[in-house]
Amino acid sequence: MRVTITALRSISPCQKRACLMRCLAILLLTTMCPAHVLLAGDLAVDSDFSSGSAKVIEIDQKNRIIRIEPEANPERGWECWWYMQVTGIEPGETITIDVGSAPWATPNQAAVSSDNRTWQQSSAGKRDGKRIAYQHKAESETCWFAWGPPFTVEDAQRLVDQSAKNSPHVTSFELCQTRAGRTVPALRVKEEGVPDEQRKGIWIQARQHAWESGSSWVSRGFVQWLLSDDPRATTLRQKSLITIVPVMDIDNVAIGAGGKNQIPQDHNRDWSDKPHWNSVKVAQQQILEQDKAGQFDLFVDLHNPDAGAKNPYFYTTTSDYLSEEGNRNLQHFLATSRLEITGPLAFKGETRESGPSYDKNWTQISKNWVTKNTTKGVVAVTLETAWNTPHSNQEGYMTVGHQLGLAIERYFRTMP
């Protein structure tokens, strides 16, 4: 309690004595009791918001420990994504977030925010079997904690809307309505330059697996660079038609589900002649229309990989699907990517092939479908950006997106 001299002068002697007695009592309690007993409120957890996910197992108020697990979403894929708000924190105290999840899908560092917009990483968590405990010294009464920096449905819509508002070269559009009736926002970028029939067609999409939030941040970094004053970005806008979809699996992102291996299949195993998911169906239609018009050249599907990956790498299609021209273009694209995606999350040349030995549904993976169903020289790849490193944060992901843009511009400018 803090009482000013002016306030003491304005009250009666009896009131003054009572006020002083209360102050003395508080000082005694502060000396005798642990700080959290007197100062800290009861910790509370809320995940009832867009992309939120947290099943509270226990809140240990005395030791300031919150034990959670990702919420179960039957038939919605891996239960690994978690994202919650914590209130009742005394600024300056250290609280512990103890998470139970699959060890192969839990980060060494959690994402932490005091405003639910700007995210930092916690200190390294301590693992104990299938649980990991993150400690964080909070500087505000309310904090948000998550598996990784969230990129919500609203973030996707905001990116599309603001890009269209701020740039005359952007057209925002609805890719489709999901099976649950939600909008899948998307944008196209084209600046006046070469005739349309001479433009390169580029398709960038993210988040076919809802829990891989870093891929949406890579797409945001790509968009920010593409709309910048960088002369190389201007060149790419003038010579290309670029489509970007920041979130493909909108429904699972909205409810905070994992999406990977959902029923009947996840989005990246749905690229067949009869796709189940609306965003896949419409993406296929638009890609084929561009290819038929001779204006489709590059497809990049953005993902996050396994926990052990420390650098970005590319999945490529089976060599059986590639023509001589297609393989030559792929090698050229990989070379320009290595020159431009230099870190701190650097592509060092690693590639993996997703053919018959990779997955029983390998023919229904997006880049494989694109390679098989479009012109022979089209390059179709999956970019996996590492999520379990000290640089796997908003800035690190967006830097990869920026550098991917430079790689694409160099690829087309230097094609043999």
Query: Which pLDDT value is given to residue 12?
Result: 53
Query: Which pLDDT value is given to residue 359?
Result: 94
CATH of domain 153-413: 3.40.630.10
Distance between CA atoms of residues 92 and 201, nearest Å: 52
Q: How would you class 263 by CB atoms within 10 Å of its CB: exposed for 0-12, middle for 13-18, buried for 19 or more?
A: exposed
Give the max Cα distance, the chain: 96
Distance between CA atoms of residues 57 and 68, nearest Å: 5
Distance between CA atoms of residues 403 and 405, nearest Å: 5
Q: How many CB atoms lie within 10 A of CB 48?
A: 9
Q: How would you class 16 by CB atoms within 10 Å of its CB: exposed for 0-12, middle for 13-18, buried for 19 or more?
A: middle
Taking CA atoms, 165 is separated from 158, 174, 284, 360, in Å, by: 10, 15, 27, 44
344-385 pLDDT, tens digit per residue, is 999 999 999 999 999 999 999 999 999 999 999 999 999 999
Q: What's the pTM value of the predicted model, to 2 decimals? A: 0.90
CATH architecture of the domain 44-146 equals Sandwich (2.60)
Q: Which two tokens stand for residue 51?
A: 């992309």
171-208 pLDDT, tens digit per residue, is 999 999 999 999 999 999 999 999 999 999 999 999 99
Domain boundaries, the chain: 44-146, 153-413
Residue owning tokens 């642990």 = 34
Query: Which pLDDT value is given to residue 17?
Result: 55
**Stretches in the chain below the pLDDT threshold 50:** 1-11, 14, 16, 19, 23-39
Distance between CA atoms of residues 408 and 135, nearest Å: 40
Distance in Å from the first CA to the final CA of the chain: 75
